[in-house]
Structure 1
Amino acid sequence: MGKNIIGRENEIKMLQDIYTSSVSEFVAIYGRRRVGKTFLVRETLQDKFVFDVSGLANATTRDQIVNFTLSLNRHAGEQAFKPAQSWLYAFEQLIALVEKSKARRKVLFFDEIPWMDTHRSGFVTALEHFWNSWASARKDIVLIVCGSATSWIINKLINNHGGLHNRLTKTLYLKPFTLLQCEEYFSSRKISFNRYQIAECYMVMGGIPFYLSKIERGASVAQNIDQLFFSEDADLKNEFHNLYASLFKESDEYVRVVEALSAKAKGLLRDEIVKATKIKSGGGLTKILKNLEYCGFIRSYSAFGKKKRDVIYQLVDFYTLFYLKFVAENKYNDAHFWTNSLDTPLRNAWAGYAFEMLALLHIDEIKQAMSIAGIQSGVAAWRSEKSSPAAQIDLVIDRKDGVTNLIEMKFSTDKYVITKGYEENLRNKISVFKYETETKNAIHLVLLTTYGVVQNKYSGIVQKQLTLDTLFTI
């Protein structure tokens, strides 16, 4: 089971343990669209399915039930069932199918389950009744549900306050690949990219297996990006609107929020989002921000030294950022845009932002390289409120052992050279940070670069150097 899966060893073991347990299991798997949830389940347990069904996008309740019936008959091997009049009866038909099975463990897989829960359909009520009155009383049922609308999984199942409260026996949040897993994936496909090239791929499309699967062996990174985003028949050119429309009702407002966030690398406060999007600051905006965060498109954080109510929202989805920066309004009509844009100001600005995001998503690797993985710490960014121009720190790790690490990041094609001007800039940042935060901690400056730092008379200001290789360790 799971022989064709790269980089999901812990997740495979969890599913295998669930299958071999001695009680009925109710498992919810969630994560960003295209991250590989369905592939994981099917590759690991498909030959164990007694029943499986996939919800239909934008379908009526009636069509969802008909689709459910077709799946019942497919597994029954005959036209044993007719479309039920309600979800309650549809689940009774599922019980009749399962009770005929002689399998030791009966795996039931509901893919894209949020789509089945159409307005006032009674789906969740029927699911509650199915689990509470029948499945949970047995010892042989493995019910696995998954969906890309993460907000639905969290609100309707994980945080359910009704009949499904605390009924899930396991939850699995499937994360995008790490850089190391991307390296393993490309190696398995005999694609020869070095770590700089793998990082560039990640900065364009994130660790999303579906996107990475479209990379062609034998073509350069730039050629692949041109083909996937800028050619006439580019596979990922139209992915953006399909992605958001499939996850969110009234997706236009969600798009307006991520568009606003894409313009500010460090993120925006709620009031700034309201001003940029013209969306009223109320429950509707709160729902949009929560759903975007649940689905992995944005994160919320408090800047270093700020109160929790001063929440900043930051875009952290690589594909979305790349699309909005380069594809959404491609004025160049150039099928080789990416190849021809090397070392342009627009591309360099994007690379700096994306590299910061890359480091943020690999913070565990950074802590391990600094030998502080076991030390309690907080992670944030910082921006001066008094200096002009405002000093800012890319990443602050505030540790409980009396040390604060200020981490600067530089994405370059060669070793980074610290000039006299940059050294003065770093000293000023440290001075302003100490003054404004009034920290009592020792300040250690860390520089994360792609290939390291050229040793010269200015490089001594850096107390710890990290390279791109650091991010490939876990």
Structure 2
Amino acid sequence: MFPFIDRREELKALRERLTGKSFELIIVYGRRRVGKTRLVLEAVKDLPHVYYLAVEGDNLRHFRETAERVFPEVRYSREDWEGTLHALKGKVIVIDEFPNLIKENPQILSLFQRVIDLDLLNSSTKLVLLGSSVSMMTEKVLSYKSPLYGRRTGSMKLRPMGFFSLREFFPKAGWKELVEVYGMTDGIPFYITQVKLPFWEWLEKELSSPVSFFRDEVDFLLKYEFSEVSTYKRILEAIALGKTTPKEIRDFTGLRHSDISPYLRNLIETGLIVREVPVTEKRTSKRGRYYVADNFLAFWFRFIFPNLSRIEEGTFSAEEIRETYDHYLGFVFEKVARQFLIELNKAYKLPFRFTKIGRWWHKKEEIDLLALNEGEKKALFVEVKWKSLSEREARGILKDLERKAELVGLEEWEKFYGLVARSIEDKARLREEGFLVWNLEDFELIKNNRWENIKKLQEL
């Protein structure tokens, strides 16, 4: 098993709440495999606690049996939820997959509300509820209609870890291979811990394994959220294949406009897709595009889903993925570059400290990343290329970026231009001319916290 990695801020926040003297009701939720259980168990590992993984039925009996093994006095309590929770007053209680309790007994929410209000609220009890069904946790536990609304003292939606966390899992790997791994795993701990290096050798073995997690993983994930999954799979496939507008998705799936909107809304709510608008526009802009939220889903629908039959037959090879993988990584590397710039922003402010960052597009013109400080009226335009660029190619990309920047309409703003690529020939010369250019070599500095000042960066 890998040691506990990253999540330092989340772990610190949980520890502070769990070691305090007041009552806490903490909700931790997020997509399956994102690491909720590992995080919470790390937070309570040296605290006396009850950890219970809820199942589909008879949860009260199973919970009591689990609690009695840690706190024997529970066996003398009344054999219902009120009596059991009263016996655990002042303790740390963790209930994983709480939606299973709701499915078994929808009244459990009102019951927990009553126990909290009448018995636990003025105690030092810590109650932590975890859930992988984002839709159910949002609707049943977190919404203002929930009986628990107003009782929770904290909530945490756990998201995938950032790209730079992968170096802690694979300290000897090069950045190129880490980008390749990230293209399949995103920052989702379960998928990361399945991978063995070299990546392509492992992927070949995994695809040929009769017990590969690839086959059923997405079905399991979708069944956590939706009762019927076929339409959602079709929509996710469309988006993963580059159909990003409602019309493109509708044409690919054959769904009418009136049919597709609720599906897209549900996929956004559960965190499986995101809707983005040009960074210069309001969130309500009608120019929104849809993207698959994590790389694993994008990878699965791009490479696994269309080839499931061949994988079963043993006639599909990882080499076929490798042939087009660099093209696929173009979009993945944009996500990596965005995280890279955010790290630079935290540590150095670049030429200025940006307050927002995102894509920009208009008709057929696109800019991969545009970072803005609206107060100072400063903008950083960045192109991202998963390629090895000659100096001439880099100059051509930067010159075209200057052309596209004029289309954005920030006439009186101070503008800066940047490029992030796999490798760039003669970076120093481009930097001397005022361009901000980075390649994979510069990632090492971020990871090692060696960004001391902009001047040093320019001298590299």
Shorter-chain TM range is 0.7 to 0.9
Is residue 36 of structure 2 the alignment partner of residue 37 of structure 1? yes
Name the SS of the counterpart of 1:405 in structure 2: strand
Contact persistence 1:418–1:453 (CA under 8 A): yes
The residue that corresponds to 2:296 in the other structure is: 319
C-alpha offsets along residues 235-262 of structure 1, whole Å, 9 cap, x if unaligned? 3332122221223222222222211111
C-alpha offsets along residues 295-329 of structure 1, whole Å, 9 cap, x if unaligned? 43222221144452323221131011111111112
Is residue 124 of structure 2 the alignment partner of residue 146 of structure 1? no
> Which runs of structure 2 are paired with 1:302-317 in the superposition (5 Å)?
302-307=277-282, 308-310=284-286, 311-317=288-294
> Which runs of structure 2 are paired with 1:109-148 in the superposition (5 Å)?
109-118=94-103, 121-136=106-121, 138-148=122-132
2:252 to 251, 261, 276: 276
- Structure 1 or 2: larger helix share? 2
Q: 1:72 to 1:374 in 2, by over 3 A?
A: farther
- What's the RMSD between the two structures over aligned residues? 3.4
Q: 1:395 is aligned with what amino acid?
A: L
TM-score (structure 1 length as normaliser): 0.80
Contact persistence 1:364–1:373 (CA under 8 A): no
C-alpha offsets along residues 405-457 of structure 1, whole Å, 9 cap, x if unaligned? 11111113xx422446x744643443244145354323322101123344599
Contact persistence 1:203–1:318 (CA under 8 A): yes
Separation in 2, partners of 1:286, 1:135 = 42
The residue that corresponds to 2:272 in the other structure is: 297
Is residue 424 of structure 2 the alignment partner of residue 449 of structure 1? no
Is residue 33 of structure 2 the alignment partner of residue 75 of structure 1? no
Separation in 1, partners of 2:351, 2:274 = 22
> Which runs of structure 2 are paired with 1:374-453 in the superposition (5 Å)?
375-385=353-363, 390-400=364-374, 401-412=376-387, 415-419=388-392, 423-424=395-396, 426-435=398-407, 437=409, 439-453=411-425
Is residue 236 of structure 2 the alignment partner of residue 237 of structure 1? no
Separation in 2, partners of 1:26, 1:341 = 45
Separation in 1, partners of 2:405, 2:321 = 36
1:461, distance to aligned residue in structure 2 (A): 7.7
Q: 1:378 to 1:159 in 2, by over 3 A?
A: same
Name the SS of the counterpart of 1:140 in structure 2: coil
Separation in 1, partners of 2:351, 2:427 = 28
Separation in 1, partners of 2:129, 2:78 = 15
The residue that corresponds to 1:246 in the other structure is: 224
Separation in 1, partners of 2:408, 2:18 = 55
Identity in percent: 19
Runs in 1 of length 4+ with deviation above 6 angstroms? 78-81, 456-462
Separation in 2, partners of 1:202, 1:442 = 34
1:126, distance to aligned residue in structure 2 (A): 2.2
1:275, distance to aligned residue in structure 2 (A): 3.6
Separation in 2, partners of 1:374, 1:158 = 38
Name the SS of the counterpart of 2:289 in structure 1: strand
Separation in 2, partners of 1:27, 1:270 = 37
The residue that corresponds to 1:6 in the other structure is: 5
Mean Cα displacement is larger for which, 149-158 or 309-318? 149-158
1:198, distance to aligned residue in structure 2 (A): 1.6
Instruction: Give unpaired runs (5+ residues) of structure 1.
Output: 82-89
Q: 1:116 to 1:271 in 2, by over 3 A?
A: farther
TM-score (structure 2 length as normaliser): 0.83
- Residue-pair matches, total: 437
C-alpha offsets along residues 84-119 of structure 1, whole Å, 9 cap, x if unaligned? xxxxxx997233234445x8x411111111232228
Q: 1:463 is aligned with what amino acid?
A: F
Q: 1:14 to 1:127 in 2, by over 3 A?
A: same
Instruction: Give unpaired runs (5+ residues) of structure 2.
Output: 450-460
1:459, distance to aligned residue in structure 2 (A): 8.8
